[in-house]
Structures are given as structure tokens and as C-alpha cells.
């Protein structure tokens, strides 16, 4: 399975390193851009957005199917290693089931909307 990922500026660099190490195409959004621009860039690049910003968990504003996929990381404490580990576990478990969906990753649970 091949995914492109667009990381929001609030995502730790450890996530970038882990995704790169697994052969994924990964890049960060430009610093300081607003949420609408972030989603537009994700659509243009056909990349799944990975963010810690809970605004992107609003399925009315960002309905499933209207974007390549959004992963919201709600890991507490937001330790970089733990965050990367939970994301990789979720990707391995869900595979292609994340395309076009909203996926919210918690410490001990994953919610899939769409």
C-alpha cells in the first residue's frame, strides 16, 4: 500500500522519520498556513493529513470522502516516540481503510469516521 502524508506543523519530527523509514512519501505543510489551505494542499497532493489539531476532527467541516484522509492524533502525553508508535500501529492495522476517512487516534483506541 502506498500513501502520501502531509504533516501539520504540530506533528513531531519523529513521525516524519518513522514514516520515511517505512518508505512513505512525507512532507510538512508550510508554516503558518490556515486550516483551509492545509486541506487544499492535502487534496492537491492527494496526501493524507496527519495533525494534532482537533479542529480537523469536525466531520461537518471536513466530511469523510471530501479529502484524501485526515488522521488526528489525540495521544496524551504527546511524547514524540509514543505518537509515532501509535500512528504506525494504526496504519499497519487499518491499511487502505483510512483513505477518505477521518481517523482519530487515542492512547488506547482508534475512531474511524466515514
Q: Which domains does the chain have, with CATH numbers?
A: 4-113 (3.40.50)
pLDDT for 4 equals: 94
Query: What is the tens place of the pLDDT at every residue in 56-94?
Result: 999 999 999 999 999 999 998 878 788 988 999 999 998
What pLDDT, on a 0 to 100 scale, did the predictor assign at position 96? 80
pLDDT tens digits, one per residue of 25-63: 999 999 999 999 999 999 999 999 999 999 999 999 999
How many CB atoms within 10 Å of residue 70? 30
- What is the β-pairing status of strands 4-7 and 48-51? parallel
> What is the pLDDT, as a whole number, of residue 38?
96
pLDDT number for residue 86: 92
Sign of CA dihedral 33, 91, 100, 71: negative
- pLDDT at residue number 1: 54
The span from the CA of 62 to the CA of 39, in Å, is: 9
Which pLDDT value is given to residue 95? Answer: 81
Instruction: Tell me the β-bridge partners of 27.
Output: 6
Look at residue 60 in the predicted model and tell me its pLDDT.
94
Is this structure's pTM higher than 0.75?
yes
DSSP-derived secondary structure letter, 97? G
Order of strands, sheet of 110-113, starting from the edge strand that comes earlier in the sequence? 25-28, 4-7, 48-51, 70-74, 102-106, 110-113
Q: What is the pLDDT of residue 79?
A: 80
Amino acid at each position: 500500500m502506498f500513501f502520501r502524508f502531509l504533516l501539520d506543523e504540530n506533528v513531531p519530527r519523529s513521525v516524519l522519520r518513522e514514516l520515511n523509514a517505512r518508505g512513505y512519501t512525507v512532507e510538512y505543510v508550510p508554516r503558518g498556513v490556515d486550516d483551509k489551505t492545509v486541506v487544499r494542499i492535502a487534496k492537491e497532493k492527494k496526501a493524507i493529513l496527519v495533525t494534532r489539531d482537533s479542529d480537523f476532527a469536525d466531520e461537518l467541516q471536513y466530511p469523510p470522502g471530501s479529502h484524501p484522509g485526515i488522521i488526528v492524533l489525540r495521544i496524551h502525553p504527546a511524547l514524540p516516540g509514543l505518537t509515532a508508535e501509535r500512528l504506525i500501529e494504526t496504519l499497519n492495522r487499518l491499511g487502505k481503510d483510512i483513505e477518505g476517512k477521518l481517523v482519530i487516534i487515542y492512547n488506547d483506541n482508534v475512531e474511524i469516521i466515514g
